[in-house]
Structure 1
Amino acid sequence: MYADETTDRLIGTMLAHYQITAKLGEGGMGVVYRALDTKLDREVALKILPAGVTTTTETRIRFEREVKVIAALNHPNIVTVHAIEHTETHTFFAMELVDGPPLDQLLQTRALPLARYFEIALSLTDAVSCAHDQGITHRDLKPANIVVDKQGRLKVLDFGLAKLKSMAIEDFAQTVALPGSITVEGRIVGTVAYMSPEQAEGKSVDPRSDIFSLGIILYQMATGQIPFRGDTPVSTMSAILKDTPTPVTELNQTLPHHLGRIIRRCLAKDPGRRYQSVRDLHNDLLDLREEIDSGEMSVPAMEANGPRRRLGARRLLVVGLLLVVVAAATVSFWPPGSDTVTPVVPSTPELSVTPLTRSGAIDLACLSPDGKYLAYVRAEDGQRSLWLRQIATGSDLEIVPATAGLLSDPQFSPDGDFIYYHLARGESEKSRGDIHRVPLVGGRSRRVVSGASGEFAISPDGTLAFNRHEDMNRHIMLLSRGEDGETSELVTYSVLTSHELAISPDGSMVATCRIPAAGIGEIVTAVPLDGGPARDFGDELWNGVAGLAWLPDGQSVL
Structure 2
Amino acid sequence: MTLSPGAHLGPYEILGLIGEGGRGEVFRARDLRLGRMVAIKALHERFSERFGREARAIAQLNHPNICTLYDVGPDYLVMECIEGQTLKEKLAAGPLQLDEVLDIAWQVSQGLRAAHQRGILHQNIKPANVLVASDGQVKLTDFGMAEFSYSAEGETEAVPLAVPGAVMGTPAYTSPEQARGKMADQHSDIWSLGVVLYEMASGQSPFQGESATTVLRAILDEEPQPLSRLRPGVPPELERIVAKMLAKDPRARYPQVEELIADLKQLREQAGAPSRPARGRQLLYIGAGAAVLLVTIVAAILFSRSSKFFRSSPPSPGINQRSVWLHENGQDRRISSERDALLPAWGDGFPTSVFSPGGQRLYYLVQTAGGHRFGGGELWFSDLASSSNVPLLPGLVMTTFDLSPDGQRLVYAAIGPDGKSRIWLAPVDGRSPPRALPPPEAKGPVFGGENEVYYRAPEGEQWYIFEIKLDSGQVRKFTSEPAMNSPIVSPDGQWIVSWTSAGTAGTSGIVKAYAKDSGVPIVLCQGCFVKWTRDRQSLFLSFQSGNFIGDGKTFVIALPPGKTLPALPPQGVNSEADLKKLPITGVIDNPNAFPGVTASTYAFEKRFVQRN
Q: Which structure is higher in RCO with an 8 Å CA cutoff and minimum separation 6?
A: 2
Which band: TM-score by shorter chain?
Answer: 0.3 to 0.5
Provide the TM-score with structure 1 as the length reference: 0.45
TM-score when normalising by structure 2: 0.41
Which protein has the bigger helix share? 1
